[in-house]
Amino acid sequence: MKDTPLSNCERDFLLKAIEEKKRLDGRQTYDYRNIKITFGTDYGCCFVDLGKTRVMAQVSSELVAPKESRPNEGILFFNIELSPMASPAFEQGRQSELSVKLNRQLERCFRNSKCIDTESLCVVSGEKVWQIRVDVHTLNHDGNLMDAASIAAITALCHFRRPDVSIQGEEITLYTPEERDPIPLSIYHMPISVSFSFFQQGTYLLVDPIEREERVMDGLLMIAMNKHREICSIQSSGGIMLLKEQVLRCSKIASVKVSEITELISKALENDKKARKAGERCGFAESMPQDRITALKMDETPVEMKDVTEKAEDIVKKSEEPPQTYPLNTRWVGLLALELHELHVTKGPSLQWKSRPYALIRNMLRQSWGGGVCKSAMISPSNMVIVVNGEE
């Protein structure tokens, strides 16, 4: 299914707003969207929200035979799945041009930059090595999938723990996490991609474009860099020619963004490590907001509901407002009761009657008041009590 194309009015509006240095979501030209990082219950599962763009990265490991050209090195494999759930433009079970481009960019970003020590993944030279597989699933597409995928992939790799192994002769033994603590990967640096979109043949520049901005852009520049300001990969797409000054300008902006994102990833990893060590609740379900009726789990209430002697009925009765009475110079107050449409008046300290047919009571009070004159008849705010004052 093809995505709905933009109308000419929408396209003109977007380009006019970009010329005036305004964006649909209210950001400035060089502003990045808010990034939220959460982890799954298992090691190596990471969710990244880049604005409304959401991706999930899952890292897995397997013992396989090494490549003949590199018998002492492990294998890194990347796979990006563009699900129709993320966008109607994506098709199920078919690799699109975008998915191939994102896969190649991830491989250049991580594998060619040597950010992971692949030699440490070797178990037996020429026989068994670890194959690290990174699967990136797109859950929602609102632009800039490459940046979200790179953040999710490197965070999941840093969070992943592979099983420990031992070798006795020709026998290889794998240990479960209960038997031995799993081992993290050896990661030298964290390459992160930053995307720049160009408009009007390179006249205007935006950082972190959203999906609608990507539709009207003339070209895209993706720079992968680490916090040491080392460029890991760079790719330009589109039909524009960029000047040297433009590329250098983008690299300076990318270095600032990469430093901020790297610090955010480090804090998220540290917080997750502390939470798991303290035995607190971890996982994606625990990070969901709890103020919805469909929440999976609710926090325990700090109120202890024990030694309660007061019943709910008593609390409701106390909360009802008492009937309003007004002091009159009355010689007596009668008790009114309506039984079978007959009016009975008796003397007493107060006059209260609970019933519904108020119109009938008013008529009967006007006609007769036990030989006396009715001074007043009032209905309480609760509409359940009638108070009558009178005198002989």
Identify the pLDDT of residue 189. 93
Q: At residue 87, what are phi and psi to the nearest 5 degrees?
A: -160, 140
Domain count, the chain: 2
Q: Quick one: 67 and 153 in the same domain?
A: yes
**Sign, Cα dihedral of 134, 140, 141, 144:** negative
Q: What range defines the domain where residue 379 resides? A: 322-391
Closest C-alpha to 121, from 174, 76, 177, 152 = 76
Identify the pLDDT of residue 106. 92
Identify the pLDDT of residue 259. 95
| Region of residue 7 (left: phi > 0; alpha: psi -120 to 50; beta: else) | beta
DSSP of 136-188: EEEEE-SS-HHHHHHHHHHHHHHH-EEPPEEEETTEEEE--TTTS--EE--B-
Identify the pLDDT of residue 131. 94
Q: Is 309 a member of any domain?
A: no
**CATH code, domain with 95:** 3.30.230.70
Q: Quick one: 77 and 160 in the same domain?
A: yes
Q: At residue 306, what are phi and psi to the nearest 5 degrees?
A: -130, 160
Q: Quick one: 190 and 332 in the same domain?
A: no
DSSP of 54-101: EEEEEEEEEEEPPPSS-TTS-EEEEEEEE-TTT-TT--TT---HHHHH
Neighbours of 270 (CB within 10 A): 10
Q: Is 238 a member of any domain?
A: yes
Identify the pLDDT of residue 372. 47
Q: What is the mean pLDDT of each run of 10 residues along the chain (392 residues)?
A: 78 90 89 93 92 94 91 92 85 81 91 90 91 94 93 95 88 88 92 93 90 91 93 88 90 95 95 86 60 52 57 67 48 37 41 45 52 47 44 39
Identify the pLDDT of residue 321. 59
Q: Is 85 a member of any domain?
A: yes
Identify the pLDDT of residue 314. 72
Q: Quick one: 357 and 269 in the same domain?
A: no
Identify the pLDDT of residue 347. 41
